[in-house]
Amino acid sequence: MTSSAAANGDEIRFVHVGRQPIYDRSGDVIAYELLFRDASDAENASQRSAQATSRVIIAAFTEFGLAELAGSKACFVNVTREFLVGDLPVPFDANQAVLEIIETVHVDDTVVAGVQSLVDRGFTLALDDFVRGTESERLLDLVTYVKIDMLDSDATEAAETVRRCREFPHLQLIAERLETEDQLQGAMELGFEFFQGHVLGRPHILSKASLSPTRIGRLQLIAALSATEQDLDEVVTLISRDPAITYRLLQATNAAASGLSARVSSVRDAAVLLGTDTLRQWVTLMLFSDLTEATEEQLMATMIRARLCQLVAEDAGIAGGAAFTVGLLSGIADLLAESTGDLISQLPLSAAVAEALTDGIGDLGQVLSVVRAYEQGEPAAALRMVGIENMVSTYLSAVGWSRRTLDGALGTAAAGASGASAP
């Protein structure tokens, strides 16, 4: 990805989104599928992960804007399991995109329940690369569109798959991966409503220069959003200090806020109009997209460490807020495989916090050592160091708080207006 130095410590980078048209039987473009691309000349996606989906959503809504990408036409956005079950937020309104379930999603009870919840909130969903007789059939009652691969299916199999889908009268079928005129003609004869493939139009990659948020601002935002009691004023101040995050959040609010009749012009407007939950969802998704490819389990471990540091410190009469910061930053350093010294070199930390992180000294350094010892399976050492009689219950309390916090920060977006844009 091309980048160059810019003012105020930010970098100019280029974001890319692939856009492939979907046609109706008359040959008119009625929708676009938005695809992950990591370079302007990439012919295919280098990944189909939650990270890739996050980057497509952020680019589409906050860098380009849907009007620039698709005009008034519908957009299809690939989603992974994390978005279906609520581990990552779908932070836009239900009528702004069709959620396309990629074929690698394992359809279990949790996914079915998550898809039902999205449908109940007004979202329209599509099944990608559907194969009859597979677990994906569990979703045929819930989705609106089914995409069938015409490149790797022979005529007989394609006809049988279409026949199976026609048992669900509400379904609309999209023939995908159409490479030749013969395949297109065959799809027309099978009665498909919509068509997509290179014979009609290859993905067109759109690129745009964008400011990349600075590392310091992202770390500070993570800390503010992860606090036991969030301070909206602090969050707004931190966002406002970062021109990249500010721009992207305002774009997201103007483009995707549910039920807003007017555009906003400031972070304060966005915070008031969207509410804390939706604001947190957008910023969290931006941070997830930008900071690291950490899994939810890794993020959970970081949150548990931070909270456990806080509880251990408070039991020992030490400032819990400072201990939380020590635990959080040490966890982030582990996620990034970076030394804590390098990580915090430009953060405005107190001497006690900095020394705890870099040298492990002072009361806060002892607290961090206690927690690390417990994480590494040395509870006896931890108990001797601080004299806590019930470390197990303290740890379980930290786990419960961390789960509730992540459910809030990475949970599903507020329910949007009913009805989804569709071809």
Q: What is the mean pLDDT of residues 259-273?
A: 58
Per-residue pLDDT at 281: 61
Binned at pLDDT 50, 70 and 90, residue 204 comes out as confident
34 beta partners: 19, 77
Percent of the chain surpassing pLDDT 90: 28
Answer yes or no: is pLDDT of 93 > 70: yes
Nearest to 19 by CA among 169, 179, 161, 203: 203
Q: What is the mean pLDDT of residues 375-393?
A: 67
Which of 32-46, 177-191, 404-418 comes out lowest in average pLDDT? 404-418
User: Dmax over Cα atoms in the chain, in whole Å?
Assistant: 77
Nearest to 184 by CA among 359, 24, 410, 406: 24
Binned at pLDDT 50, 70 and 90, residue 5 comes out as very low
Answer yes or no: is pLDDT of 235 > 50: yes
Q: What is the mean pLDDT of residues 347-370?
A: 85
Nearest to 333 by CA among 365, 352, 306: 306
Let me know: does 47 contact 18? Beta carbons within 8 Å: no
Binned at pLDDT 50, 70 and 90, residue 261 comes out as low
Per-residue pLDDT at 115: 96
- Backbone φ and ψ for 370, nearest 5 degrees, come out as -60, -50
Answer yes or no: is pLDDT of 48 > 80: no
User: CA 61, CA 255: separation in Å to the nearest integer?
Assistant: 6
How many other C-beta atoms can be found within 10 angstroms of the C-beta atom of residue 147? 25
Binned at pLDDT 50, 70 and 90, residue 227 comes out as low
Q: CA of 216: how far to CAs of 219, 220, 287, 342, 356, in Å?
A: 5, 6, 12, 11, 19
Q: Is 15 helix (H, G, I), strand (E, B) or coil?
A: strand
CATH code of the domain made up of 3-207: 3.20.20.450
Per-residue pLDDT at 257: 44
User: CA 99, CA 145: separation in Å to the nearest integer?
Assistant: 10
DSSP classification of residue 27 = S
Q: Give the count of alpha carbons within 13 A of 195, CB side only.
A: 24
Give the H or E element holding residue 353: helix 351-358
| Dihedral sign computed on CA atoms, order 58, 331, 49, 78 | negative
pLDDT tens per residue across span 148-177: 999 888 889 999 999 999 999 999 999 999
Q: What DSSP string runs through 86-133?
A: TSS---S-TTS-EEEE-TT----HHHHHHHHHHHHTT-EEEESS--TT
Q: Name the pTM for this structure.
A: 0.52
DSSP classification of residue 199 = T
Q: Is 180 helix (H, G, I), strand (E, B) or coil?
A: coil
* Residue positions counted in the chain: 423
98 beta partners: 76, 124
Over the chain, what is the mean pLDDT? Answer: 75
Per-residue pLDDT at 409: 44
DSSP classification of residue 170 = T
Per-residue pLDDT at 157: 92
Pairwise pLDDT comparison (188 vs 151), residue with the higher score? 188
Per-residue pLDDT at 319: 82
pLDDT tens per residue across span 6-38: 333 344 456 677 888 999 999 999 999 888 755
Which of 96-105, 237-246, 413-422 comes out lowest in average pLDDT? 413-422
| Dihedral sign computed on CA atoms, order 238, 241, 243, 244 | negative
Answer yes or no: is pLDDT of 86 > 90: no
Answer yes or no: is pLDDT of 421 > 70: no
- What are the sequence ranges of the domains in the chain? 3-207, 214-291, 296-409
Answer yes or no: is pLDDT of 262 > 80: no
